[in-house]
Structure 1
């Protein structure tokens, strides 16, 4: 299904485009297909792994800070609903992913049917990138919102995991939430929170793959 989704994404890529890429196995398939088709594009990515795969494929990489626009961007996610709101939690690079999304004319999520829901089930946490000095205050405010909090750690590193920007990564687990607009606003307005991994009304389209089909769904409004 991941290859099917990547092949559908490939159809949207034209020579001369600046293409944003996130991380994950579906994106790695897309890179392979771009190499096979000899696509003449330039890549912007916040993912170290994706950047290495692009270099191995002979694709040109542009640093994000030199780019004023991206023609089309592709990324994965953990959950996405019918309104194209999404949760991303794994990589902890959501701040940079949102920068890529904001630069992109089209920001398209690639998923299989197991990640597509009528409403977000919140099986995964919302990840917060938090300025270290705000650690305790942010934790208290998340508790007030009814969330449970885990400071992300890594077995290969002593202490709390930090983002590429040097900030803390907090995994904040919420129960399924009906009012995503309000939740998004409250989290974004919390002092000390740099960015959140709830992508509320960010994606313009999604490609949903099943065993036999792919469907391109556009956001209404």
Structure 2
């Protein structure tokens, strides 16, 4: 019995490690294939991007790689500073060579859900200013349809005064449930880097025409941006359980 319990915990711990290893594999592969000397790089947010910045720092030191980085959030900026990588911004450098970012979910058509960390607006701005958006993720983010794996909902950043009527309008148009995202270690709702609230839209129709849905959502007054990234990603790299990297292209 003791050996079986030990085997169970060993197996469970190994699975946990493999998830982090999968993130690292995807991040390293993407940085090695898509970052060149002299590039202007958008740096996304989230746990997988940590490994991308680590690999980028290694290449800068080992290969004397010259790059400049535009962060998509305060967290991304701190990560860039921590690794002593050069910072720039969109006021100085208005077109980027590549943006490397994570995703909460990627479907079979390379549609993305992003914004689980609340940085969707700045992530989408930086991605839109990049010649190509490269997504890095572990195998758990790879789905056939949006909503297969990621159950927390599609994030929608909204002006605070309008969150209630916006929620009603979305429910009337598309159904589903919208929750105002609440903070964990403070009272009240989550406030984004841009001073807005986030609605998380759950129980939506997974067979929706996401391009049309996204356009409709953005037409609602008070909606600042959505976590639907449609026709934006050039490629996605998924670190797999077996140690390989799956590459998905449109």
TM-score range, shorter chain: over 0.9
Match of 2:204 among 163, 170, 175: 175
Q: Is the 8 Å Cα contact of residues 45 and 119 (structure 2) preserved in structure 1?
A: no
Q: Is the 8 Å Cα contact of residues 23 and 238 (structure 2) preserved in structure 1?
A: no
Give the match for residue 9 of structure 1. Answer: 30
Distance apart, 1:140 and its partner CA: 0.9
Query: Partners of 1:24 and 1:161 in 2: how far apart?
Result: 17
Give the match for residue 113 of structure 1. Answer: 139
Distance apart, 1:171 and its partner CA: 1.3
Match of 2:178 among 117, 129, 149: 149
TM-score normalized by structure 1?
0.92
Give the match for residue 216 of structure 1. Answer: 247
> Is the partner of 2:162 in helix, strand or coil?
helix
Larger radius of gyration: 2
Distance apart, 1:21 and its partner CA: 1.0
**More helix per residue:** 2
Moved over 6 A (4+): none
Q: Say how many residue pairs are matched.
A: 219
Give the stretch that moved more between structures: 70-79 or 176-185. 176-185
Deviations 1:7-55 (A, max 9, x none): 1112121111001111122211111112122232100112222211211
> Is the partner of 1:142 in helix, strand or coil?
helix
Give the stretch that moved more between structures: 167-176 or 124-133. 167-176
Gapped runs of 5+ residues in structure 1?
none
**More strand per residue:** 1
Give the match for residue 11 of structure 2. Answer: none
Query: Partners of 1:25 and 1:164 in 2: how far apart?
Result: 18
Query: Partners of 2:79 and 2:187 in 1: how far apart?
Result: 29
Give the match for residue 128 of structure 1. Answer: 156
Q: Is the 8 Å Cα contact of residues 161 and 168 (structure 1) preserved in structure 2?
A: yes
Query: Partners of 1:150 and 1:43 in 2: how far apart?
Result: 34
Gapped runs of 5+ residues in structure 2?
1-21
Match of 1:67 among 68, 71, 93: 93
Match of 1:36 among 53, 58, 63: 58
Query: Partners of 2:115 and 2:127 in 1: how far apart?
Result: 16
> Is the partner of 2:199 in helix, strand or coil?
strand
